[in-house]
Amino acid sequence: MRTFIKIGLIGFVLIFFVITSIGIAVWYLWSSNLPYIGSLKDYNPPIITEIFDDKGQVITQFSDERRILVPLEEISYHTIKAFIAAEDDRFFQHKGIDFLSIVRAFFKNIKARRIEQGGSTITQQVTKSLLLKNPARTYKRKVREALLSLQIEREFSKEEILYLYLNQIYLGHGQYGVEAASQTYFGKEASELNVAESALLAGLAQAPSKDSPIKHFNRAKTRQRYVLERMRAEGFINDKEYEEALATPLHIQQDKHEALEKAAHFIEHIRRIIERKYGRHLLYKGGLKIYTTVNLDMQGAAKDAVVRGIREFDKREGFRGPIGRVSPEDENLFTQQMREHLKNNSLEIGTITEATVVKVDSKKKETLVRIGDQLGLLPLSGMEWARMADVEKAYFETKLEDPAEVLAPGDIILVKIIKDLEGSPRWILSLEQTPQAEAALICLDTKTGQVKAMVGGVDFSKSQFNRATQARRQPGSAFKPIIYTAALDHGFTPSSIIIDAPFISPIGDEEEERLWKPRNYKERFFGPTLLRTGLIKSRNIITIKILEKIGVRNAVTYAKQMGVESPLNADLSLALGSSGTSLLELTRAFSVFANNGTLVKPIFITKVVDRNGKILEESYPSFTDSLSPETTAVMTDLLQAVVKEGTGWRIKALKRPVAGKTGTTDDLRDAWFLGFTPSVVTGVWVGYDDRRPMGKGETGSRAASPIFLYFMREILKGKPIVPFEHPEGVVITKIDAKTGLLASPFSEKTCFQAFKKGTEPTLYSPKPDQAKPGEFFQLDMDLSGKAR
């Protein structure tokens, strides 16, 4: 018996020794090569990069993990207590591992039949998030997690652990840390959160996607109630505070994209610049602060102007028909879908939405449509534009007379709410359609070069291509001011006479040489024409002959020194803007006129600061002398005349000094307007991405200048009227608008024109019957203005 007991004891000791040895070996192996917890002292997590407008307001952010790092002191007391109550109520008692909480959570979850409490401490959650990146649930990982948690508790204070936890935790919708989540869900800083809001945030810790207050509000409320119960149980709040918190309304912020929608192309341009210069890691994780030049008020005006102008243009192009049809058997399904859509999209004046045609009344000339569960009235006056598209006819040549010509019951159409009504129908509507054409606008501050507004297309969500900076389109007549600028420095004056007559020239290389026969826009020739008239009326032949006289190379040189960087055709077609340029390039070139001959460098970013406050770059206005002030002043005066007397006549509505030039290419594929005041220069382009021709009459004057007008009218509202200044080397002379000579009693039409001093005319315009064609002489005038 003793032998048997002895053998048993020896065996037990051996087994115990083996198991213990194995346990020690496993423990040693699993605990070796633990991550260095000292790295937590240099906690430097990915944080968001912020983009600021010119007033220092945040307009958007870039991040892989949207996190805003804040010290514990800037987090609401209620928020801290809410997370402790929900996640680790014995946080201040345990040393990293809480066996009591593990057991309690186990039985609590069994009773609830779902995971309602977790057994991990806040310290363990910090360990998992920051030190153990492998998510696999293994015994080895649990051992390592426990060891690291114990080490963290020895090395860090409870406050330091809370700081790590509350800045690191994921709380749904890409939000990391309580500060980012607070701003996203409630539109306030974490220091301002009340008890109800704090409890809701803490409730997201277990399942942030499933309990999202944006997508699953009721689930989020259920979790909030649980957290409040835990806070009351732990004595963090009393019964009264508990009831008040439950009754406190929660105003959850929906995703805000207002700034992004207004300035989407501008923001994307900034993103490209920063990523190219600093790399993706720094852009999305480095917490940069990027200060830009965009002015959101001007940007909003630019976006509104582009959308308005392009919708007006698109209607002139004609109605392309309904966007779809609903069969009688599918009508209920479509109505239900519309009802669901309208739950999250309110209908108000100006809203554009889908509708189904219910009835078309040819006698009353009106159409009844359904929007969800309600009816709207579409009168003929709201759809007169909707004759079927015909590129051979201008918009004013036909108007719709009967809505039945284009609509039928069951058609799905787009309508705009114009007016609210009492009863049914609920609204007065107008017919709309989604534009197919595109437009771009860019505006620079002439004194600094700062880009204050940029719209690269009608809808960024459909096309991220930036037509203001990336597109290269033929500028057409918008390029002519560069030719005329060179001419003024090569012997021409505004009064120079050029014969507007048929012109034929060989063009192309020797192997493919062909005869080129350019024409004026309306295919007419006007004989002897003043240089100023050639620019004001945008006469092609005049410009070609000027270019031939001064030389193509000189014109190219002037274009380059005025900021045009795109390759240019070295032939006479350059006079008609045959070489593709970007809207930014051409707008920058026009800034030379507004800036007294100085070329300014466009600035999009004023400053970039890293997460530690170090300035990585800073931009200041950069100027280069391009033209003489005298040449610039004469050109500005000529371009003012384009607005007062020529193709830019629509811009007169601004009722202030404005200079500019229209641009239209052959076959009406591109329409431009470039214009400026003493303070800003703005460029507009309109056209189709596939380069198809626009409708009849869609020139720069009709298609592009209205957008310029809408924008400038808004940004100049309430601003003082500032005239253009003239240097001492320029004189203003009253001339005969036909002959270009000094105005005389025989002049039928006169105008004031700027000349470089010494180039102004010295002869008076003669009596018509006293002059031979092309011959002028000086009249001896007495003080009364009568000829002697």
pLDDT, tens only, 610-631: 999 999 999 999 999 999 999 9
The band of 775, judged by pLDDT with boundaries at 50, 70 and 90, is very low
Rounded Cα distance between 337 and 355, Å, is 12
160 vs 346, more confident:
160
Mean pLDDT across the stretch 415-421? 92
8 A C-beta contact, residue 311 and residue 71: no
**What are the tens digits of pLDDT across the range 470-491?**
999 999 999 999 999 999 999 9
**123-132, 453-462, 739-748: range with lowest mean pLDDT:** 123-132
For the question of whether the overall pTM of this predicted structure is more than 0.95, the answer is no
Kindly tell me if the per-residue pLDDT of 393 is higher than 90. Answer: no
The band of 123, judged by pLDDT with boundaries at 50, 70 and 90, is confident
Mean pLDDT across the stretch 303-332? 90
pLDDT of residue 531: 97
8 A C-beta contact, residue 475 and residue 575: no
pLDDT of residue 506: 80
pLDDT of residue 148: 80
Q: How far is CA 98 from CA 34, 397, 412, in A?
A: 21, 84, 63
Q: How far is CA 261 from CA 182, 278, 299, 460, 683, in A?
A: 23, 25, 10, 8, 20
Q: Which of 290, 585, 284 is nearest to 442 (CA)?
A: 585
Rounded Cα distance between 565 and 572, Å, is 19
Backbone phi, then psi, for 393, in 5-degree steps?
A: -120, 140
pLDDT of residue 174: 86
Buried b (16+ CB within 10 A) or exposed e, 428-453: bbbbbbebebbbbbbbbbbbbbbbbb
Q: How far is CA 253 from CA 52, 245, 257, 314, 404, in A?
A: 21, 19, 11, 35, 44
Q: Is 113 left (phi over 0), alpha (psi -120 to 50) or beta?
A: left
pLDDT of residue 99: 73
Q: Which of 563, 560, 526, 559 is nearest to 542 (CA)?
A: 526
Average pLDDT taken over every residue of the chain:
87
Active site residue 159: no
| Cis ω before 425 (30° cut-off from 0) | yes
Helix %, strand %, coil % of the chain (to 5): 40, 20, 40
Q: How far is CA 465 from CA 168, 460, 472, 586, in A?
A: 36, 8, 12, 18
Give just the sign of the alpha carbon dihedral 410, 414, 418, 421.
Answer: positive
Rounded Cα distance between 269 and 582, Å, is 14
Describe the crossing of helices 77-87 and 178-186 by its angle, rounded to 10 degrees. 110
Residues 6+ apart with CB under 8 A from 609: 288, 289, 291, 615, 616
**What are the tens digits of pLDDT across the range 176-189?**
999 999 999 999 99
What pairs with residue 506 in β-bridges? 515
The helix or strand, by DSSP H or E, that contains position 266, with its residue range, turns out to be: helix 264-278
pLDDT of residue 65: 85
Structure tokens at 665: 């290419």
Kindly tell me if the per-residue pLDDT of 735 is higher than 60. Answer: yes
**What are the tens digits of pLDDT across the range 429-464?**
999 999 999 999 999 999 999 999 999 999 998 999
Describe the crossing of helices 239-247 and 195-203 by its angle, rounded to 10 degrees. 80
The band of 388, judged by pLDDT with boundaries at 50, 70 and 90, is low
Structure tokens at 708: 């310029």
Describe the crossing of helices 480-488 and 552-561 by its angle, rounded to 10 degrees. 110
pLDDT of residue 387: 79
pLDDT of residue 29: 46
Backbone phi, then psi, for 263, in 5-degree steps?
A: -120, 30
The band of 787, judged by pLDDT with boundaries at 50, 70 and 90, is very low
AA letter at 207? A
What pairs with residue 634 in β-bridges? none
Q: Which of 362, 361, 628, 578 is nearest to 473 (CA)?
A: 578
Q: Which of 430, 477, 582, 591 is catalytic?
A: 477
Q: Which of 87, 145, 366, 432 is catalytic?
A: 87
pLDDT of residue 70: 93
Rounded Cα distance between 535 and 550, Å, is 16
pLDDT of residue 105: 62
pLDDT of residue 378: 95
Kindly tell me if the per-residue pLDDT of 33 is higher than 50. Answer: yes
Mean pLDDT across the stretch 136-141? 55
**What are the tens digits of pLDDT across the range 254-266?**
655 566 678 999 9
Residues 6+ apart with CB under 8 A from 608: 274, 278, 288, 289, 290, 291, 615, 616, 617, 618
| Other Cβ atoms within 10 Å of 692 Cβ, number | 13
The band of 779, judged by pLDDT with boundaries at 50, 70 and 90, is very low
Rounded Cα distance between 639 and 625, Å, is 21
Active site residue 87: yes
8 A C-beta contact, residue 582 and residue 469: yes
Mean pLDDT across the stretch 211-229? 92
Mean pLDDT across the stretch 349-365? 92
R_g of the chain, CA atoms, integer Å: 37
334 vs 235, more confident:
235
**273-277, 423-427, 433-437, 549-553: range with lowest mean pLDDT:** 423-427
Buried b (16+ CB within 10 A) or exposed e, 460-486: beeeebbbbbbbebbbbbbbbbbbbbb
Kindly tell me if the per-residue pLDDT of 681 is higher than 90. Answer: yes
Mean pLDDT across the stretch 160-164? 91
Q: Report percent pLDDT > 70 for the chain.
A: 84
Residues 6+ apart with CB under 8 A from 312: 706
Backbone phi, then psi, for 666, in 5-degree steps?
A: -55, 145
**What are the tens digits of pLDDT across the range 506-540?**
876 666 667 888 988 878 899 999 999 999 999 99
pLDDT of residue 777: 37
Q: Is 325 helix (H, G, I), strand (E, B) or coil?
A: strand
Buried b (16+ CB within 10 A) or exposed e, 178-196: bbbbbbbbbeebbeebbbb
Rounded Cα distance between 600 and 498, Å, is 33
Kindly tell me if the per-residue pLDDT of 662 is higher than 50. Answer: yes
Rounded Cα distance between 169 and 70, Å, is 13
**What are the tens digits of pLDDT across the range 266-285?**
999 999 999 999 999 999 99
Q: Which of 311, 316, 310 is nearest to 396 (CA)?
A: 316
**143-147, 214-218, 362-366: range with lowest mean pLDDT:** 143-147
Q: Is 386 helix (H, G, I), strand (E, B) or coil?
A: coil
Q: Which of 629, 628, 610 is nearest to 618 (CA)?
A: 610
Q: Which of 605, 615, 600, 699 is nearest to 650 (CA)?
A: 699
- The span from the first CA to the last CA of the chain, in angstroms, equals 158
Rounded Cα distance between 386 and 221, Å, is 50
8 A C-beta contact, residue 725 and residue 678: yes
Kindly tell me if the per-residue pLDDT of 331 is higher than 80. Answer: no
